[in-house]
Amino acid sequence: MTTTLVLGAARSGKSAHAQRLLADRPAVTYVATGPQPDPDQDPDWAQRVARHRADRPQRWTTVETRELTRALMRARTPVLVDCLGTWVTRSVDQVGGWEDPDRAREHLADLVDHLVVAWRHLPVDAVAVSNEVGWGVVPESPAGRLFRDLLGAVNARIAAASDQVHLVVAGRVLQLDDTPVVPAAGRW
């Protein structure tokens, strides 16, 4: 089976590309890692989720969860995970890690160890989408810097465990070299 990590910036086309990679499959399990939208509290998030839902083929099954490893282990059809960035956010939220970065790093390192094992042993093709957030300015807030660093480490670990890595920039897809520079058990 083939695993592919699709990276890109906001509105780069990464989700559309990921969906195209599995478009010909009769069934796909779409693992949505973000929180359920509440239009009253965050109308922008609700609109984003609605747009993603509308873009998915009707024949795909959606699993909305933060239990990503468990969802992968249960998969019996090709899987599309969208996205690792929201999964990281929810995982840090789960342990109050924004105020305790060491706790966040420890918690996420453990989760990613399990995720990498599941990713490597999937019995089906899988595509994961993630944000590439490390190319801009250094975030002003400690939480922003923590998120950037954690997601960068997660992306490197999943990339090292993937058969293919695609980078989507301005709607164009680049297939990245298959020589990882970060070891499978990178620093947090």
Domain architecture of the chain: domains with CATH: 3-175 (3.40.50.300)
Of 52, 147, 53, the C-alpha closest to 98 is 147
Phi/psi of residue 61, nearest 5 degrees: -100, 130
Of 107, 91, 85, the C-alpha closest to 5 is 85
**Residue 181: what pLDDT?**
65
Of 2, 20, 3, the C-alpha closest to 168 is 20
**Residue 71: what pLDDT?**
97
* Distance spanning both ends of the chain, measured CA to CA: 29
Cβ atoms of residues 33 and 72 within 8 Å: no
Q: Which residues are tagged catalytic?
A: 52
**Alpha carbons 166 and 171: distance in angstroms, whole number:** 12
**Residue 180: what pLDDT?**
62
| pLDDT tens sequence for the chain (188 residues) | 999 999 999 889 999 999 999 999 999 999 999 877 777 888 887 787 788 778 888 899 999 999 999 999 999 999 999 999 999 999 999 999 999 999 999 999 999 999 999 999 999 999 999 999 988 888 999 999 999 999 999 999 999 999 999 999 999 999 998 776 655 555 55
**Residue 50: what pLDDT?**
81
Cβ atoms of residues 75 and 122 within 8 Å: yes
**Residue 28: what pLDDT?**
97
DSSP-derived secondary structure for 117-164: HHHHT-SS-EEEEEE--TTSPPPSSHHHHHHHHHHHHHHHHHHHH-SE
Name 57's Cβ contacts closer than 8 Å, sequence gap at least 6: 19, 23, 28
**Residue 164: what pLDDT?**
96
pTM: 0.90
